[in-house]
Structure 1
Amino acid sequence: MLKVYERTTSYQSWRSHYWKSLPLLEMLRGVSTLHMDGFYFPWEHPIYTNLADLTDLTITNLDIDNVCVEHIEAILRACPLLESFKLGSTMIHGVDVQTTPSHILMKALHTFEVQELDFEAIAFLFGTIRAPYLRRLSMKEVCYDTSENFDDAKYGTVLLRFFAIAGRSLRHFSFHEADMPIRSRWLIGVLRKTPCLASLELHGVMRLRVILQALIYGGICPELQSLLAIPLGRHSRRGIPTLLLSLVINREHIHPIQCLAAPHTVLKGSFLTSLQERVPRVVTVRIPE
């Protein structure tokens, strides 16, 4: 299925087709938005190096064996104006986690979203992309694999180096945990590099208490105004209400918390009442037990 609307092109197909080069290049000339869901052009197609006007790129559900590092690199280098990049449910082959990839400076990129990617893909993307003006980052169910290639130290180092540049301008960060948990020290280290962060979402994060304590007493994220905090499982909820109240009352900040969201099993009773008296917007989130 092909849709073209105001220079926005969306492809959705579960079968890849070979397109004639010239008509396709003409059809996509000047296109600013390209969404490929379960669809890809043949990787040798010149379309991937002729995307100079592209500002919004989404690639999802490519469950195939021939998506390689070289393909993604070529696409990113061909999009100097890219502002939004979303990649999900796609295997990237040919990643050597022991070598340092060549960096790609993406000055226009302000939104970056990854979902359901394995460790190799995350190591490649966050080791390659340098986005000095990034404002919004979403990481959902990443490093879900439990392969022997997973390297916790490498994972943390890659993230810290990425945030050393991108974190300076980041305003919104959403992190949804997966089967391969990130160590709290890496996540705290990442947050230390986001001085302008205004909105933070932590969903299913292990050792959430440690991270909340760092937000309260560690002097990190002083501009934080919105927080979503969902512990991992019912046994991780102990002490969370007290810490959320302390976050509102005791943390050093530039701006006070304006919005606080947590599960209904956390926000209840006197803690809920106390928070509602101090925070303009308190949201109770219902999650499956």
Structure 2
Amino acid sequence: MSLTYLEAIREAQYEALRRDPRVFIYGQDIGKFGGAFKATKHLDSEFPGRVIDAPISEDAMVGTAIGAAIEGSRPIIEMQFADFSSVGFNQIVNQAATQFWRTNVPCPIVIRLPSGGTAGSGPFHSQSMESIYAHYPGLIILTPATVEDAYHMLLAAIDLDDPVIFCEHKFLYYHLKADSLPDATLPIGKARIARPGRHATVVAYSAMVHESIRAADELQQDGYQIEVVDLRSVKPIDTDTILASVARTGRLLCVGESFPWGGVTAEVIARVVADGFHLLDAPPQRLNAKDTPIPYHPNLWKAHRPTAASIGAELRKLLKF
């Protein structure tokens, strides 16, 4: 029986609630309603009093979680959309991120952000916030791109003593399926080679991993072997795996769905140029969403974000350098 990306997130939360009485879930309409995307469907009946509906205040939600974590709980916060987490930004970056460093008391909270765009969602329900939160020390930023990672990385995040921003991509909720969940997975902070190659490296994460693989499959018809690196974890970031891939290929394209200015793709290029400039045979490139608010119209949205076609076009330019 296959499992979707969304079902894997639900199963991970079920398992966390089952095995650890300190875990609870807090968010808007997550109880009987099951959440905006049904990621907590039926969990309230399975675990009475531990899947709790929150007021419409992301600030209050995160503040409550921080207080509970300080007192020994391990809260999971569900934001209805990643965009709304900006309302709780002060609590996340000024309280949760600094808690351990100020007091030597850990703050083990997980904040689930339904991230990225879907057709027709527009500027308030489509943003990718990982670059913003990665700027702040004290936060772990995870961006699972597979069903397996959605499950295992969420469980690992709940076990961490650090506050975790868990960026789950809405477009993958139902589009991605797996036949089974393996027992073992890579640790947090370790990237994976999603597709081996030798002519160019694409570093991507979240939904852009799949767009990059599709682009690589297309270029293979012309004899090009493109290596795709799935970051999995934005912070900590696995610089060693990135550099090893660039050493094999000599060319680098970084792909992200977030806005371009100061993003994850820029950080990857900065690290490669600083530590692996001698490995490059061409200037490293990046491809992000357009530097504009995200449009509502499905056709405009498709033109706004990177796609397999636009990634393939950038790779062809890079390969000709």
Which structure features the higher share of helix residues?
2
Greater length-normalized contact order (CA 8 Å, ≥ 6 residues apart): 2
TM-score calculated relative to the size of structure 2: 0.29
Max radius of gyration: which structure?
A: 1
Higher percent of residues as strand: 1
